[in-house]
Amino acid sequence: MILVFGSLNIDLVAQVPVIPGPGRTVLAPSYQTHFGGKGANQAVAAARIAGRGRVRMAGRVGRDAFGERALDNLHSNGVDTNLVVRADESTGCAFIAVDPAGENAITVASGANMTASATDLPVSQLAADTVLVLQMEVPFAQSLAAARRTKSASGTVVWNLAPVPEKMTAAMVTELLAVTDYLLVNEHEARDAAAGIGLGAPDYETAGGHLAKAGDLTCIVTAGAQGALAVTADGTCLQVPAPRITPVDTTGAGDTFVGAFAAMLSEGMPLQAAMGVACEAAAQKCLKPGAQAGMPVRTAIPSLT
C-alpha cells in the first residue's frame, strides 16, 4: 500500500507573458482552477499508475467547497481518502503563474495543511509493505513522526524534500535523513540539503552522494531535461535520461516523478527501472497544463506497455 501524508490544495493558474518580479504586475487574460498540493499531486500520480485501491491519502482540508472538491477529485482518481480530516481552517490554495516557456512561480496559502497530524495515521494502517510518501508542505515535526511510525512498522519511507524550508536547520536535515530510505530532490534541493549539514558540493551529483552517505540511504536527484540520477549509500551511481519533449507546463512534473517512483517501488521494480518509469511519467505530464490534469495513466507509459 502507498500511503501519502501531505498537502491538499486548490490551484489557481494564470498564463502570463512573463513571471513578475518584486513590485511588478502583469496581466493575464483569465485563470484556471486545478487540483494541487504536493501530497495530493503525488497521490494522484501514484494512483494513476498503481491503480485504484493501491493509494491512500492522509492530510487535512477545510470544511468548505474547495475541500469538497479536493476530496471528490481524489475519489475520482482512485485514491482512498478515509484518512483525510476536515479542519476548521480553510483548504490550502496555490497561486501559480506560468510563462510561455512553461516555467512557473508558485505562492501557497497553506490553510488546513498546517494542522495535519501524524496521529491521523493509525498504527494499524502501517506494515512492512507500506510505502510512505512525504513532502515539506505540512508541519515537519508531524512528517517526521509519521516517518518514525512507518519505520517502526518496517515500512519504507520516500521523502521528497520540497519545497526546502527557508529556515531549514542542520538538525532538521539530520533527523530527516535518519528516517528516510529514498530521498528525492531536484538539483537545487540536493545542494541546499547538503549545505545544510555542512557538506557543500560543486554539483548535484556530489551533493546527492553526500546525502546518501550521511543518511545511509538512496538519494535520487531529478534534473529536468537531463533526467535523474541515484546515489546509494555505498556510492554507486545510476543515471536515467529524460525523454526529449517540448514542455507546455512543468507544474507538477516533480510530483509526478515522485508518485510514479513510489508506485514502481511498491511493485518491487528495480531502482534504475523505477527511475526510468518516473522520468517517462514526468515528461508525459509536462505536455499538458495543470498539476494533475496531465498526469499519465499506466497505459501511457511506454516502458509499462
96 labeled binding residue: no
CB 98 within 8 A of CB 16: yes
Task: Give me the long-range contacts of 297-303 (CB less than 8 A, separation at least 24).
Answer: 297/48, 297/49, 298/48, 298/49, 298/50, 298/51, 301/49, 301/260, 301/277, 303/273, 303/276, 303/277
Q: Would the CA dihedral through 154, 304, 284, 74 be positive or negative?
A: negative
294 labeled binding residue: no
Contacts of 236 (CB under 8 A, 6+ apart): none
Within 79-205, strands assigned E span 79-87, 92-98, 104-109, 131-134, 156-160, 182-186
290 labeled binding residue: yes
- Residues linked to residue 160 through DSSP beta bridges, in sequence order: 184
227 labeled binding residue: yes
225 labeled binding residue: yes
Catalytic residue among 192, 203, 216, 255: 255
CB 199 within 8 A of CB 170: no
CA distances from 8 to 23, 62, 64, 156, 237 (A): 29, 10, 13, 22, 34
41 labeled binding residue: yes
CA pair distance 33, 85, nearest whole angstrom: 23
78 labeled binding residue: no
CB 221 within 8 A of CB 204: yes
CB 244 within 8 A of CB 287: no
9 labeled binding residue: yes
255 labeled binding residue: yes
234 labeled binding residue: no
CA pair distance 68, 184, nearest whole angstrom: 30
160 labeled binding residue: no
226 labeled binding residue: yes
254 labeled binding residue: yes
10 labeled binding residue: yes
* Active site (annotated) includes residue 255: yes
170 labeled binding residue: no
102 labeled binding residue: no
Q: Would the CA dihedral through 149, 155, 156, 158 be positive or negative?
A: negative
285 labeled binding residue: yes
Closest residue by Cα to residue 59 from 91, 30, 31: 91
The binding site for K(+) comprises 249, 251, 285, 288, 290
The binding site for ATP comprises 186, 222-227, 254-255
Catalytic residues: 255
The binding site comprises 9-11, 37-41, 137, 186, 222-227, 249, 251, 254-255, 285, 288, 290
The binding site for substrate comprises 9-11, 37-41, 137, 255
